[in-house]
């Protein structure tokens, strides 16, 4: 997606917006890792709503709240903007291997 959109060089983060009003932020560096997926189909069919369709992000190296479901919009940002859980004290970076669950 980023290759198609060609974000401005100053872009540093993404903010994903869900149809359910959920938002989550992710550093562009993390979003561009090869194991991060935007899933819209499964087995040749549109991703079912109960599994996060029409589109969901899977972020295997981060805590699950960074992987938004029911995505309707992805915004490239030039600075970090807190998402739903980040506004409530959860970590911005969300690295499970560093026990990085809550903000300092």
Average pLDDT taken over every residue of the chain:
89
C-alpha 16/C-alpha 24 separation (Å) is 5
| Res 2: pLDDT | 86
pLDDT at 39 over 70: yes
pLDDT band of 100, cuts 50, 70, 90: low
Average pLDDT, integer, range 10-36: 94
Q: How far apart are CA 32 and CA 1, in angstroms?
A: 10
pLDDT, mean of residues 80-97: 84
Higher pLDDT, 60 or 72: 72
Q: Look at residues 7, 16, 9 and name the one whose alpha carbon lies nearest to residue 71.
A: 16
pLDDT at 102 > cutoff 90? no
Residue 26, CA distances (Å) to 36, 47, 50, 67, 98 in order: 11, 22, 23, 9, 17
Question: What pLDDT, on a 0 to 100 scale, did the predictor assign at position 104?
Answer: 63
Residue-range domain boundaries for the chain: 12-97
CB 25 within 8 A of CB 88: no
Question: Which tens digit of pLDDT belongs to each residue from 62-85?
Answer: 877 788 999 999 999 999 999 998
Whole-structure pTM value = 0.84
């Amino acid at each position: 997606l980023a290759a198609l959109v060609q974000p401005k060089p100053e872009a540093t983060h993404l903010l994903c917006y869900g149809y359910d009003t959920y938002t989550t932020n992710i550093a562009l560096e993390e979003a561009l890792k090869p194991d991060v997926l935007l899933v819209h189909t499964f087995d040749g069919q549109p991703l079912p709503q109960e599994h996060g369709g029409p589109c969901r992000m899977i972020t295997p190296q981060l805590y699950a709240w960074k992987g938004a479901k029911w995505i309707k919009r992805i915004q490239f940002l030039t600075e970090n903007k807190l998402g739903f859980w980040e506004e409530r004290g959860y970590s911005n970076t969300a690295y499970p291997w560093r026990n990085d669950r809550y903000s300092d």
